[in-house]
Structure 1
Amino acid sequence: MPASATTPQPSGLQKELTEALQELHRASGRLSFRKVSELIGRREDRLSAASHETVRSAVNGLRVPRWETVHDIVLVLAGQCSPARDEQSETARFLPLWRAIGEGESGALKSFQELLNGGWGGEDGQWTPELVMGMLINPFSAIEIHPSLAAPHEPLVSEDDWVHGMLRLIEEQGAEHALRVLLHLLKGDYVGADEGSPYGYRNPDREALEAQAAFQYGCQAILRRLNREPNLLAESIRAMRADTTMDRDDRAEMLENESDPSLMREVMIVTPATWDEVSEEAQNMIFGYLVQQISPVRPVGPPGSDRFKIVWRIPEPLEA
C-alpha cells in the first residue's frame, strides 16, 4: 500500500510550509535527517535541539513543527545549498509561512518592522501578499492626488503624531469614516485649500494664532509658578532690569508702561486668584517680567511643554 494511503498528508497553509521546507531540502542535496539534526546541534545560535525524527516530521509535514524547529532546519539547509542561500533571508521567508498556520492569512503578512527590514518582496518577479496589500491601500491607486499635496514639502507633524491622530479619529468616528476622510483630503479638499495655502499647512493668520497659543501657555505656566513662589514677580523685575542683553525697544516699552501708576498697581497686587480680573496690559507686563523668551518646539501639537519652550528670567526650581 502506498505511503500516501496510510500517512496523513498536510493541507492548506501547513501544506505551503511543508512544500517550502521540502524545496529547501532538495536544494541542499537532500541531506539525511540525522545529518541535519547533527548540524543543528553544532550551531551556537540554534533555538532547539531537534532530533532527526523531529526534522523528518517537519520536512514530511507529519505535524506542525514549532517555530524553533523550523528556524533551525532552515538555517542549516540554507547554508548547505549550492550556492548557499542567505540564512536571514530564508528564515524571514519561512516565518510568515509558519505564522499563517496559526493566525490565518493575516499571519502571512509582514509586520511593519518586517517591511522596514526586508521590504515588500517580489524581487523574483512574484507577487507577495505584501505587494498586493501595498497596492490596495496606497491612495495613489484609488485617486488622483491633488498636485499641491503631492509636491515635495516640509512635513508639519511627525509620522508618529500623524499615526496617533489617525488612530484617535478611527476610535472616535470608525475606520470607514477615517479612510474616506483621508481620500477626500488627498483629492485636494483640505484645510486652507480655498485660500490657496500651500499643502493646506499654512493659515494666513498662523503667526497670530501661534503667538496667542504661546501667550496662553505662558500665562498658565506663570500662574503655576506664582502660586508656588510668592516672591517670583519681584525677583523677576530685578532680573529684568539687570539684563544687559534685553532689546532696547523692549526695555523702552517696559519703562513707558512703568510710568503708568494705575497699571503698575494692577501688576504689583496680582495673584493667581485675581489674574482674570486685571487688564490684558497688566498681564502682558507680568509676562514680560517673568518670561525672557518663549518659542515653539514644533509648529502644532498638544498644548504643553512638548510644543513650547520657556526661558525664565528666574529659573524654575528643580523640585518643580
Structure 2
Amino acid sequence: MSTLIRSREDQLSDASHETVRSAVNGIRVPRWETVHDIVLVLAGLCSPPRDVESETARFLPLWRAISEGESGALKSFQELVHGGWGGEDGKWTPELVMGAMLNPFNAIEIHPSLAVPHELMVSEDDWVKLMVRQIEEQGAEHALRVLLHMLKGDYVGAEEGAPYGYHNPDREAMEAYAAFQYGCQEILRRLSHEPNLLAESIRAMRTDEMMDRDDRAEMLEKESDLSLMREVMVVTPDTWGEVSEEAHHMVFGYLIKQISPVGPLGLPNDERFRITWRIPEPPEL
C-alpha cells in the first residue's frame, strides 16, 4: 500500500509502511492526508474502479467525525457548494435533513411580496456580517425569530409600498420613476441659472430631425391643450410646485432628449443616470 501511494502523482502524503499499518489497524488516528491516499489507492483497486473524488469526499466527513463528533460528519459549507446536498440515489443524507430543517421556506409560508425580483441592497457577505452582529448583540433566538417575522411579510417599509421593489414587480417602471425624479431635479438646477433654457430647448426639439415620430406626435397633441401650455410657459424653479404634473412631463420632454441608467441601484443619482440635454450644459455650469 505504501509503495502504491508513493508511485502516484496525486498523493498528499509520503506514507511509510508503518504509517499505513497504524492507520488500517486503528492503532492511532491518522492524518487526513494519509486517509486520503489510502482511499485513493483502494478506489483504484476496486473492480470496477471507483471514482476517486467521490470516494475521498465520502471519507472526509467520516474522518472529521472522529474528532468533532456528529457535527463533523456533515459537509462543510464549501463542500455543499461544490458537491451538493447528496441524495442522488434517492436516500436522505444528513445534509438534506439539515437543509430541510434550516430552510425558512419549510417553516413559514413566504409572503407573496417577497417572491418577485428586486434590486439587491447588500451583498451576501455583508448580510452574513450583519446577522452575526445581530446575534452577538441580541442573541441567536432573537435574531432568528426576527428573520422569520420579516420573511412572513412584515418588514421595514412594507406599508409604504415598494421600498425594495417587493410590491411592484415592474422594475422598469420603478427605474423610470427614479430617472424622472432625478431629471426634474436637474432641470430645476439648470433653470435657476439659465432663464432662457426652456425656450431654447423648445426650438431645438422642433428642429430635431432624429426625434422619434411617435414622441413628436404625442408632444404636438399635448401642445394643443392651451391651458397646459400656459402652465408650461410660466415654469420657473419658484413656480414648479404650483403647476401640474402634466406640465412637469412637458418641460421634461422639452429639455431632456434622453435619460438612461448607467449604474446599479445604490449609487448617487449623478453616477446612476446619464442625461442627454437638448441644449448642452455650458461648461462653466
The alignment of Structure 1 onto Structure 2 pairs a total of residues equal to 251
Residue 38 of structure 1 corresponds to which residue in structure 2? 3
Alpha-carbon distance in 2 for matches of 1:209, 1:249: 25
CA shift in 2, pair 1:205/1:43, >3 Å: closer
| Secondary structure of 1:47's aligned partner | coil
1:72 paired residue among 17, 20, 37: 37
Residue aligned with 2:118, SS: coil
Q: Separation in 2 of the partners of 1:295 and 1:105?
A: 51
> Which of 256, 259, 267 is the equivalent residue of 1:293?
259
What is the percentage of aligned positions where both structures have the same residue?
A: 55
Question: Which residue of structure 2 lines up, in the alignment, with residue 135 of structure 1?
Answer: 100
User: CA-to-partner distance for each residue in 1:155-177, whole Å, 9 max, x for gaps?
Assistant: 41379968468536625644434
**TM-score using structure 1 length:** 0.54
Task: Look up the equivalent residue of 1:170 and give its one-letter code.
Answer: M
Amino acid at match of 2:216: R
State the shift of 1:81 in Å: 1.9
C-alpha distance in 2, partners of 1:219/1:60? 79
The letter for the 2-side match of 1:214 is A
> What's the CA shift string for 1:68-90, capped at 9, x where partnerless?
33222211111112342221111
Q: Which residue of 2 aligns with 1:244?
A: 210
Report the counterpart of residue 266 of structure 2 in structure 1: 302
Counterpart CA distance in 1 for 2:7 and 2:28 is 25
Match of 1:312?
276
- Alpha carbons of structure 1 residues 258 and 184: separation in structure 2 relative to 1, 3 Å: same
How far 1:134 sits from its partner (Å)? 1.7
User: Aligned match of 2:131 in 165, 170, 173?
Assistant: 170
The reply to whether residue 120 of structure 1 matches residue 81 of structure 2 is no
In 1: Cα distance, 2:240 partner to 2:74 partner: 61
What's the offset of the Cα at 1:292?
0.2
Whether the 8 Å CA contact 2:115–2:166 is kept in 1: the answer is no
The Cα offsets for residues 178-233 of structure 1, whole Å up to 9 and x where unpaired, read as 432443355566799999x9xx932599988655433345567x59x98xxx9xx8
Shift of 1:91: 1.0
- Spell out, residue by residue over 1:131-151, the C-alpha distance to the aligned partner (whole angstroms, 9 max, x if none): 3312321335444x26x649x
Q: CA 1:291 to 1:44, structure 2 compared with 1: closer, same or farther past 3 Å?
A: farther
Q: Which runs of 5+ in 1 are unaligned?
A: 1-35, 267-275, 316-320
Which residue in 1 is equivalent to 2:283? none
Question: Any idea what SS the aligned residue of 2:260 has?
Answer: strand
Contact 1:214 1:308 in 2 (8 A): no
The 1:44–1:311 alpha-carbon spacing in structure 2 relative to 1, beyond 3 Å, is: farther
The separation in 1 between residues aligned to 2:48 and 2:170, in whole angstroms, is 64
Q: Which amino acid aligns with 1:245?
A: M
Q: Secondary structure at the match of 1:58?
A: helix
Structure 2: gaps spanning 5 or more residues: 281-285
**After the TM superposition, which residues 1-320 of structure 1 pair with which residues of structure 2 at under 5 Å, given as runs?**
36-100=1-65, 105-122=70-87, 128-139=93-104, 141-143=106-108, 145=109, 149=112, 155-157=116-118, 163=124, 166-167=127-128, 170-171=131-132, 173-174=134-135, 175-185=140-150, 187=152, 201-203=166-168, 211-218=176-183, 242=208, 244-246=210-212, 247-249=215-217, 251-252=219-220, 263=235, 266=236, 279=240, 285=251, 289-290=255-256, 292-294=258-260, 302-304=266-268, 310=274, 312-313=276-277
Q: SS of the counterpart of 2:211? A: coil
SS of residue matched to 1:292: strand
For normalisation by structure 2, the TM-score amounts to 0.59
Deviation string 1:31-59 (CA, Å, 9 cap, x unpaired) is xxxxx222222322223322222222333
